[in-house]
């Protein structure tokens, strides 16, 4: 039985132009490297009008494990569960026939960022190389709606240590949302050797654009091991003082 491989999402045109033989397993980042214009957009999210982009950052590696009841990235393979979710690569070379005949010529490829049609449709886009060798960071494209999102964070260069984070949020406004993980620095120094040796708790902040909308931190004590939401204090705009002259 032939092994089902990740390269199934690659178009026949790409395979012909690159001279691929047989069934090869290519990560999303390797697909990006095949494009001539890879350096111009690798690591950047491409916003689409009317859509929501969800990405995760802040640790060696992170992956969107699920959105609502849909599994997105496999915790064992660290690649998209369904090849159909991956955005396809399309040929932007007008003279594609001559390019295919000449296997030594380089393909000019780009991501197919066709707008989503269905409310529940989800697309996964390769974003950049992971901090853990051989893995790829992806972001998700979807329609605005209230969603349950689960993300796996890997604070160390070790796939055996994973922090699982989940939240429900109303992604009502189209745009880019990021779940950024960081270690919460303690404001008090304890004389306890155990406290000193314990790692700082992990926090996750939800950014909408450049604004922090929500913050979650792992608590030490009663709720140890759970992410507890903390209040986000947003800065209020400073109102300029205007002197009003009164008539006498």
Q: What pLDDT, on a 0 to 100 scale, did the predictor assign at position 42? A: 41
Closest-CA residue to 202 (of 216, 221, 187): 216
| Whole-number Å distance between alpha carbons of 199 and 155 | 11
184: containing domain: 6-230
227 token code pair: 């992410």
| Whole-number Å distance between alpha carbons of 185 and 241 | 37
Q: Is residue 236 part of a domain?
A: no
Q: Is residue 222 part of a domain?
A: yes
Number of domains making up the chain = 1
Reading the chain (248 residues) residue by residue, the pLDDT tens digits are 443 333 333 333 233 333 333 333 344 444 444 433 333 334 689 899 999 999 999 999 999 999 999 999 999 999 999 999 999 877 766 555 554 555 544 556 688 889 999 999 999 999 988 999 999 999 999 999 999 999 999 999 999 999 999 999 999 999 999 999 998 766 554 444 434 444 578 999 999 999 999 999 987 665 457 899 998 887 665 555 555 555 55
Greatest distance between any 2 Cα atoms in the chain? 96
Q: Is residue 235 part of a domain?
A: no
pTM of model > 0.95: no
Q: Is residue 17 part of a domain?
A: yes
| Whole-number Å distance between alpha carbons of 124 and 46 | 12
Q: Is residue 210 part of a domain?
A: yes
Q: What pLDDT, on a 0 to 100 scale, did the predictor assign at position 199? A: 58
Q: Is residue 79 part of a domain?
A: yes
| Sheet bearing 52-57, strands edge to edge | 122-129, 136-142, 52-57, 175-183, 202-208, 211-218, 227-230
Q: Is residue 43 part of a domain?
A: yes
Q: Where are the alpha helices (DSSP H) in 6-94?
A: 12-18, 28-33, 38-41
CA distances from 113 to 48, 74, 89, 126 (A): 8, 23, 9, 12
Cβ–Cβ under 8 Å, residues 130 and 50: no
Q: What pLDDT, on a 0 to 100 scale, did the predictor assign at position 237? A: 57
Q: Is residue 87 part of a domain?
A: yes
**179 Cβ contact partners less than 8 Å away, ≥ 6 residues apart:** 54, 55, 56, 57, 62, 149, 151, 165, 204, 205, 206, 207
């Amino acid at each position: 039985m032939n092994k089902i491989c990740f390269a199934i999402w690659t178009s026949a045109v790409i395979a012909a132009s690159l001279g691929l033989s047989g069934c090869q397993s290519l990560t999303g980042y390797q697909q990006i490297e095949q494009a001539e214009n890879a350096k111009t957009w690798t690591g950047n999210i491409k916003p689409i009008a009317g859509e929501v982009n969800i990405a995760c950052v802040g640790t060696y590696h992170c992956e969107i494990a699920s959105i609502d009841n849909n599994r997105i990235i496999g915790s064992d393979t660290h690649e998209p569960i369904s090849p159909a979710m991956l955005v396809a690569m399309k040929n932007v070379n007008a003279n594609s026939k001559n390019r295919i005949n000449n296997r030594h010529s380089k393909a000019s490829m780009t991501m197919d960022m066709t707008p989503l049609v269905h409310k529940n449709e989800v697309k996964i886009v390769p974003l950049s190389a992971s901090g853990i060798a051989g893995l790829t960071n992806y972001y998700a494209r979807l329609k605005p709606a209230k969603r349950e999102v689960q993300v796996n964070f890997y604070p160390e260069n070790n796939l055996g240590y994973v922090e699982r984070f989940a939240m429900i949020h109303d992604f009502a406004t189209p745009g880019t949302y990021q779940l950024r993980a960081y270690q919460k620095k303690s404001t008090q120094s304890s004389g306890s050797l155990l406290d000193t040796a314990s790692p700082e708790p992990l926090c996750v902040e939800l950014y909408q654009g450049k604004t922090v909308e929500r913050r979650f931190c792992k608590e030490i004590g009663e709720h140890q091991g759970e992410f507890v939401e903390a209040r986000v204090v947003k800065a209020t705009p400073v109102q300029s003082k205007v002197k009003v002259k009164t008539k006498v």
